[in-house]
């Protein structure tokens, strides 16, 4: 209760407060009604372990994890890529959605974080689907772009990494995803800061990456090679379906 006697809205429990909904109570309702009851035990366990990590703000939210899992099933994805893994919550969501012979090329600069979630991924029986490579993604992507066997070979690519390189990733990934395949860019509404006035009090990292996200959104909006759909799930996700 507030000092005035008014009831305060309940705060939701999702790590990192990644919902753009104005009502915390409404987001908590979504989590408790539709997300947590359907969340696989392995994903719940990884979410709870990740919540204790000092960088937990980097994790994919539970509702977005559920969305990705459903999306992958709807498009019958089999060969996928993920750039930016952290502890592997979205990676596990993807692995659980793929068929038994599905594959994920997982790229991240920090193997130590990935190994936090690896025992849970192994226990879930999906580690064999994952090919984890440690290091910057761009050099590997350049190698793949220069090898025609990788052109159009991916059904789905999820990017949740360094925002200042999103456009650099897009320039390469457009060749690697198949026509009809989907690239998903995470954090494209960037804490809601994209419409904040210039003098708004923003956290330093939010302000730094804001212009890069704005630049990406403008570029995707006029890219004739893709159809796009930007959704206010998590911190915003833009889906790009390659059409040419």
d(CA 130, CA 182): 19
Phi, psi for 17 (deg, rounded to 5): 45, 65
Residue 128 lies in a domain: yes
Strands of 79-83's sheet, edge to edge? 130-134, 103-108, 79-83, 154-159, 177-186, 237-242, 226-231
Closest CA to 51 of 22, 89, 83: 89
Residue 15 lies in a domain: no
- Residue pair 78/101 in contact (Cβ under 8 Å)? The answer is yes
Q: What is the DSSP letter of 132?
A: E
Query: How far from 180 is each of 76, 183, 217, CA to CA, in Å?
Result: 11, 10, 20
Residue 17 lies in a domain: no
Task: Quote the domain boundaries for residue 97.
Answer: 24-242
The answer for residues whose C-beta is within 8 angstroms of residue 224's C-beta and 6 or more apart is 244
d(CA 194, CA 118): 35
Residue 28 lies in a domain: yes
Residue 7 lies in a domain: no
Residue 18 lies in a domain: no
The answer for residues whose C-beta is within 8 angstroms of residue 200's C-beta and 6 or more apart is 193
SS3 4: coil
d(CA 190, CA 192): 5
Residue 14 lies in a domain: no
The angle, 0 to 180 degrees and rounded to 10, between the axes of the packed helices 89-97 and 41-50 is 170
pLDDT in tens, the chain (244 residues): 333 444 444 444 444 445 677 788 999 999 999 999 999 999 999 999 999 998 988 899 999 999 999 999 999 999 999 999 999 999 999 999 999 999 999 999 999 999 999 999 999 999 999 999 999 999 999 999 999 999 999 999 999 999 999 999 999 999 999 999 999 999 999 988 999 888 889 999 999 999 999 999 999 999 999 999 999 999 999 999 999 9
Query: What local confidence, expressed as pLDDT, does residue 18 receive?
Result: 59
- In the chain, the number of structural domains is 1
The answer for residues whose C-beta is within 8 angstroms of residue 133's C-beta and 6 or more apart is 105, 106, 107, 140
Residue 141 lies in a domain: yes
Query: What local confidence, expressed as pLDDT, does residue 16 receive?
Result: 45
List 239's β-bridge partners, or say none. 184, 229
Query: What local confidence, expressed as pLDDT, does residue 22 receive?
Result: 75
d(CA 98, CA 142): 26
- Residue with the two structure tokens 């709870």: 48
List 177's β-bridge partners, or say none. 154
CATH code for position 126: 3.40.50.150
């Amino acid at each position: 209760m507030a000092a005035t006697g008014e009831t305060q809205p309940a705060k939701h429990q999702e790590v990192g407060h990644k919902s753009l909904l104005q009502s915390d109570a409404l987001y908590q309702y979504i989590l408790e009604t539709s997300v947590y009851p359907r969340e696989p035990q392995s994903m719940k366990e990884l979410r709870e372990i990740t919540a204790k990590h000092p960088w937990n703000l980097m994790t994919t939210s539970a509702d977005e994890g559920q969305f990705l899992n459903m999306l992958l099933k709807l498009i019958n994805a089999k060969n996928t890529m993920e750039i930016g893994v952290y502890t592997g919550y979205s990676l596990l969501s993807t692995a659980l959605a793929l068929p038994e012979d599905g594959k994920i090329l997982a790229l991240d600069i920090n193997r130590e974080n990935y190994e936090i979630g690896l025992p849970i991924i192994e226990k879930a029986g999906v580690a064999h689907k994952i090919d984890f490579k440690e290091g910057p993604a761009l050099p590997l992507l350049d190698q793949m772009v220069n090898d025609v066997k990788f052109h159009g070979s991916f059904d789905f690519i999820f990017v949740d990494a360094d925002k200042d390189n999103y456009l650099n990733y897009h320039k390469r990934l457009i060749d690697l995803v198949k026509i009809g395949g989907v690239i998903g860019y995470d954090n494209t509404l960037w804490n809601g800061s994209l419409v904040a006035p210039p003098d708004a009090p923003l956290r330093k990292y939010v302000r730094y990456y804001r212009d890069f996200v704005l630049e990406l959104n403008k570029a995707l909006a006029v890219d004739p090679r893709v159809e796009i759909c930007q959704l206010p799930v998590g911190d915003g996700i833009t889906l790009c379906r390659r059409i040419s």
